[in-house]
Amino acid sequence: MNNIELNDKIDKMNNLVELHLHLDGALSINNCKKIARIQNIDIPDDNEVSKMMIVSDGCNDLNEFLSKFEFPLSLLQTFEGIKNAVKNLEEELALQGIVYAEIRFAPQLHTSECLNQDEVVRAAIEGLNSSKLRSNLILCCMRGNNNQDENMETVRIAKKYLGKGVCAIDLAGAEALYSTANFEDIFMYSKELGIPYTIHAGEADGPSSIYDAIRFGTKRIGHGVRAIEDSNLVKKIVDEGITLEVCPTSNICTSVYNKIADIPIKQFIDSGVKITINTDDPAICNTNLKKELKLIATTFELTYEDILSLQLNAIKASFASKEVKEEVIKIINDN
């Protein structure tokens, strides 16, 4: 099968799984317009909104990348804004051929106006329940110096809504500034409460952050691509059955790598590492899951069977219920 035929098959896929997707980085221009309207917020025209949200081609500036979150976050500070943003996003994902998604966000970043973290999460759950897409929420704790109380509150809320729309917690934020090792208490508390978790590691920070994440007991790592710098770590990831949530275009936008061919996707596959392909912040990176899959298929000469294998990796590593996993595995295998 040549690249044109493979890309055509990927375009027609309706059995995709997205595990690493940030709500504030996934708001399309149409979604922004819809939620601005219901909140009576005036926003600029499409061209201006595009400039505010989407990184420039070949973006190599982390500051530019981070600045793109300011506008969408400003629209996600009310109950109706959050609820409808999640609902609209899920409808868009379904149209893109996604059959299961895990949407993550940090409740503490949505409390600048009138909401507390509990209300933020309830709004997002109402958005989930307004859609037919199989999906769950991952609640992100944030790296920082003075937000331990907020992070612990996020964990408690995750426990409250676990199995009712929330499936796990995560740790996000500036890895290089705030070492993963400093947040062990979050995951020990989560383990005590029986909350599953994934951890951002091995993106801006190196292999040590991944070792810390594994020491905390995670079976999933957000990004994790810099594991390739340590062969012993790669072996440990394989031996312990840990899955990496790889986000190719995002890694270029944040200057982890200069080009897609530099990302160690083929090395991981050949080494037996279970990887999944994700969009991370699709609106900001101007991408979607099919675009990511076509990009890696072409770059690394993957087959259609390889792409299906990546989807199976994703649903098997997901925090979905056993019943949902079985449903989605059947959908993938039937295509």
pLDDT tens for the chain, 335 residues: list them.
Answer: 788 899 999 999 999 999 999 999 999 999 999 999 999 999 989 888 888 888 876 665 566 777 889 999 999 999 999 999 999 999 999 999 999 999 999 999 999 999 999 999 999 999 999 999 999 999 999 999 999 999 999 999 999 999 999 999 999 998 888 999 999 999 999 999 999 999 999 998 999 999 999 999 999 999 999 999 999 999 999 999 999 999 999 999 988 999 999 999 999 999 999 999 999 999 999 999 999 999 999 999 999 999 999 999 999 999 999 999 999 999 999 87
**pLDDT at 263 (0 to 100):** 98
**pLDDT at 118 (0 to 100):** 98
Respond yes or no: is residue 153 known to be catalytic: no
How many Cβ atoms are within 10 Å of 70's Cβ, its own excluded? 11
Q: Which among 203, 241, 208 is positioned nearest to 222, based on CA atoms?
A: 203
What's the CA gap between 309 and 287, in Å, rounded? 21
**pLDDT at 59 (0 to 100):** 65
**pLDDT at 255 (0 to 100):** 87
What's the CA gap between 63 and 243, in Å, rounded? 29
Dump the DSSP string for 227-251. Answer: GGG-HHHHHHHHHTT-EEEE-HHHH
Marked catalytic residue, from 92, 102, 175, 203? 203
How many Cβ atoms are within 10 Å of 54's Cβ, its own excluded? 17
Is the CB of residue 328 less than 8 Å from the CB of residue 320?
A: yes
Q: Which among 165, 162, 240, 168 is positioned nearest to 197, based on CA atoms?
A: 168
**pLDDT at 224 (0 to 100):** 97
**pLDDT at 172 (0 to 100):** 95
**pLDDT at 67 (0 to 100):** 82
**pLDDT at 325 (0 to 100):** 98
Residue 216 in 3-state DSSP? coil
Is the CB of residue 180 less than 8 Å from the CB of residue 171?
A: yes
Q: Which residues pair with 169 in a beta bridge?
A: 139, 197
**pLDDT at 63 (0 to 100):** 64
Query: For the whole model, what pTM was predicted?
Result: 0.96
How many Cβ atoms are within 10 Å of 259's Cβ, its own excluded? 10
- Going from the C-alpha of 290 to that of each of 7, 110, 120, 157, the distances in angstroms are 9, 29, 30, 33
**pLDDT at 14 (0 to 100):** 95
What's the CA gap between 256 and 175, in Å, rounded? 12
H helix count then E strand count, the chain: 17, 8
Please report, to the nearest 10 degrees, the dihedral formed by the alpha carbons of residues 72, 75, 79, 84 taken in order. -70
What's the CA gap between 214 and 284, in Å, rounded? 29
Structural domains in the chain? 3-333 (3.20.20.140)
